[in-house]
Structures are given as structure tokens and as C-alpha cells.
Structure 1
């Protein structure tokens, strides 16, 4: 029984490992969808427009010549575009590969810098992964339909019907659940249709790109799986060892400074704002305390008492040669 349970747990872990990337992408989609709904409930309210503000246009069904106001256009599109841009930037910034690729690159020698083609492929992969969240936001926003309809509808609320539901925008503001115009509802339906089209294109294109990347991979399925597992364990092990080493070195430096009372000058030296730099031997110094400890490790040069060796011919020397035949005078 225990053996069978162990086998089931092992199979479950293997299945989770196989679909780890899919689980992460699904989580991104779910979180983005929830964020979009929360934003809609908390902040979204399409601006109301009256007929007098449109300059006398025909807003009847089938003969709509009214153009939406700039405020409505900017308001509706900003809810679609601005969060998508923010999510894309966040996706790039939250990827460790981004900072591993760019940190210190300006100070590297030409021999250690990555080639242009390799760097482009790296950032293409980073950007592709970061594109999932903003694309999800755009699709969900289009499927919701309210942002797009607000941007393209001249009169979002029914203030021009026969008779109109609202006589003014003040009446719209007083209604907890406002009623939208027929043109708004038609544009919302168009937005939802566009959302389904974008979703279908995104799925087909994404699947094609993923299949192409897998076909052009230099590794087989299990070799690629081992490669990804190794990289994950290497990063985890490296982080763990760095924490241990950093804690040990920091503790030793602090104990060195605190082993006896220090004058104010030394306290001032370790308490100033620090910028990373290196010593004369090009060794990294991580803090003023670290720099102070390194200076303490340097042996102090103490001049010994000079011995004058007087030779038979009256010459003097301090190299010690001929000391067996000369009279030593210590000054």
C-alpha cells in the first residue's frame, strides 16, 4: 500500500513538473482576469454626454452621424491600453533573466559580452513570456465590452431617445445602475465579437510559435526536461550557499569591529553612505565595514632597529653579510 501511494505521489509530482509552465501561464490569466473585474467595479464609470455637447448631429438608429467626444475616447481606450502596458513592463521587470542579462553589461569587456543575435533572442523570449498578461487584459476588456463601447459611442447613456430615459446627465449620476443607449449596446456587442476574434488568433499564433520553438530545439524532450530541472536546482543551491556565505562573512566583520571599543573616527568611517567600489587589488568591497576589515588585515610595516656592521675597512652595511668578522654596534 505504501509503495503504491509513493508511486502515485511520484507520478503526481512528475505531472506537475511537466505542466509547470502551463500552470504558471494559467495563473497569470486568472489573476489578470480577476484584476480586470476588480478595476471595473472599483473605478470604471463611462462619462455622460448630452446631445447639446455634440454640436447637433443625428443619433437615430441607422443614421448615426455623431462622433464620440475626445474625453470618452481617451477614457475608454485608457482602460484597455494603459493596464496592458503596465502589465507588460511588470512582466519584463519581474523576470530574473532580464536583470541577469543587463546588470553590469556596460562594464563588461568585449570578450565577455553576449553577441547581438544571442541578446536579441534572449529578450525575445523574455518579452514573449511577459506578453501573456497584457494580451489577457486586452482580450478580457474586449469581451467585457464596456471600455470599447464607451470609447466609440457618442451618447453612452440614453439621453436622446423618444422619449429619453434620462433628461440630463445629472439624472444618470443619480441612478445606481444606469441604463445605456442602444448605440452603446451595439458597440459593446461589436467589442465582444472582436474579443473572441483576438482570442482565437492569439491561441492559434501562440500554439504555432510554441510548436516551432520545440521543433527547432537542440534538445530532446527528456534532455530539455533535465536541462530545466538542473537550472532550477542550480539557482536554488547557489542562492542558498550565497545566503550562508554572506551571513558568515558579515558576522565575522561585525564581530571584528565590536571586539573592543572603537574611536569616533572609525564609527564615522563605517557609518557613511556606501557606493560599491574595489580596492587597489581589484577586490570587491561590499560596505565600509568590509573595507575597514580588509584594511585591518594588511600587515603593518614596522622598521626594525638598524644594525650597523662595521667591517675591517671601516665601511658600514645593513645587509648582514660579513657579520662574523665585524664588530656589531647597535644604535
Structure 2
């Protein structure tokens, strides 16, 4: 039991280990969430649906990072308690430094979520097939034979439900989306 406490004490003092553990747990959680919960609706709401699944969990993780930090609560409950104006300004400067420290820790999970989600590509693919920008759709749908049909049925491509657009064209469009993402 003493060895376990020693390991926990060392882990608690090492911020890089803590950052790595949070990033690893977030990446694993994103993969599970993506596999179990996410399913692109393949309609006109693809853009909103993809962005919600990309950004809302990241925002929730950011808020959770701030809420679970002891420093946040110490900062909020101990700031400017009936002191002079000059002392309060010094506390505000110190509070800014502490807020930056809290932010560096709180931003680990959301940035990991977004990075892993973009590497996976499911949310991005769903969101970008739901855009309603004709210039973008014309850029993505380049095949001259099925260009008009491709633009009309672009939102169905992540599910493979497009009947009138050939499979090769659909795959080409999805590869183009992934290429645009990585560029």
C-alpha cells in the first residue's frame, strides 16, 4: 500500500504525466463516443450535426476542467475581500496568472478531443457534406458527368445512400474532403 501511495504522490507532482493521462483518457473517450453514439443523419442537417458533435463535447470538457480545478474555486472565493484598492489590483494581476495556469490544464482535454476527432474524420466528413455553399460543392464535386446530381446528393455520401451518383465518384468526393481537411 505504501508503494502505491508513493507512485500516486509522484504522479501528482508530475504535471506532464497528468497532461498525458488526461489526453489519453480523452482520446479513448472520443473513440468510444464516436463508435457508439455518432451516426451522421445524411440529410440537410449534416453540417450542424457534425459541428455539434465536434464542438459541444470539447466545450463541456473545457468547462469541466475549470470547474474541477481547486485553483478556480480558491481564486473565485478569495478575490478582493474587503481590502484596499491597490491591494485588490495586485490580486487581479495575480489572478490573471492563476487563470492562465488553470487554462493550460483545462485546455488539454478539449484540444485532445478536437484533434482526435479531426484525425478520425467522421465528424468533419459529416459536417462538410452538409454545407450549403455552392462554390464549395462545385469544388468538391468535380466529375463532369454527375456534377449536378453530386451537388444535390452530397449530404447522403457519408452513409453511402446516393443511388444516382456512382460509387467511384462518391469515394473521390470523400477523399477530396479528407485531403482538404489535412491541408
Gaps in structure 1 of 5+ consecutive residues: 1-8, 50-68, 166-179, 195-331
TM-score, length basis structure 1: 0.40
Q: Tell me if 1:187 matches 2:183.
A: no
Deviation at 1:119, TM superposition (A): 1.3
CA-to-partner distance for each residue in 1:47-73, whole Å, 9 max, x for gaps? 124xxxxxxxxxxxxxxxxxxx3x111
Q: For residues 188 and 95 of structure 1, do their structure 2 counterparts lie closer, same or farther at Cα, with a shift above 3 Å needed? A: same
Deviation at 1:82, TM superposition (A): 0.7
Deviation at 1:116, TM superposition (A): 2.1
Deviation at 1:18, TM superposition (A): 9.8
State the structure with bigger RCO (CA 8 A, min sep 6), 1 or 2: 2
Task: Report if aligned partners of 1:146, 1:188 keep a CA contact under 8 Å in 2.
Answer: no
Q: For residues 135 and 48 of structure 1, do their structure 2 counterparts lie closer, same or farther at Cα, with a shift above 3 Å needed? A: same
The alignment covers a number of residue pairs equal to 145
The correspondence of residues 193-204 of structure 1 with structure 2, limited to 5 A, is: 193=182
1:140 to 110, 113, 116: 116
In proportion to residue count, which structure has more helix? 2
1:84 to 52, 58, 65: 58
Mapped partners of 2:91, 2:22: distance in 1: 32
Deviation at 1:188, TM superposition (A): 3.0
Which one has a bigger Cα radius of gyration? Answer: 1
Mapped partners of 1:104, 1:17: distance in 2: 28
CA-to-partner distance for each residue in 1:126-182, whole Å, 9 max, x for gaps? 1111011100011001100111111112332441323x69xxxxxxxxxxxxxx743
1:131 to 107, 111, 114: 107
Gaps in structure 2 of 5+ consecutive residues: 130-153
Deviation at 1:104, TM superposition (A): 5.2
In proportion to residue count, which structure has more strand? 1
Paired residue secondary structure (1:123): helix
Paired residue secondary structure (2:34): helix
What is the root-mean-square deviation in Å for CA atoms of aligned residues? 2.7
Q: Tell me if 1:99 matches 2:73.
A: yes
2:91 to 112, 115, 130: 115
Mapped partners of 1:117, 1:32: distance in 2: 32
CA-to-partner distance for each residue in 1:3-23, whole Å, 9 max, x for gaps? xxxxxx9xx96xx46972111
Q: Which residue of 2 aligns with 1:32?
A: 26
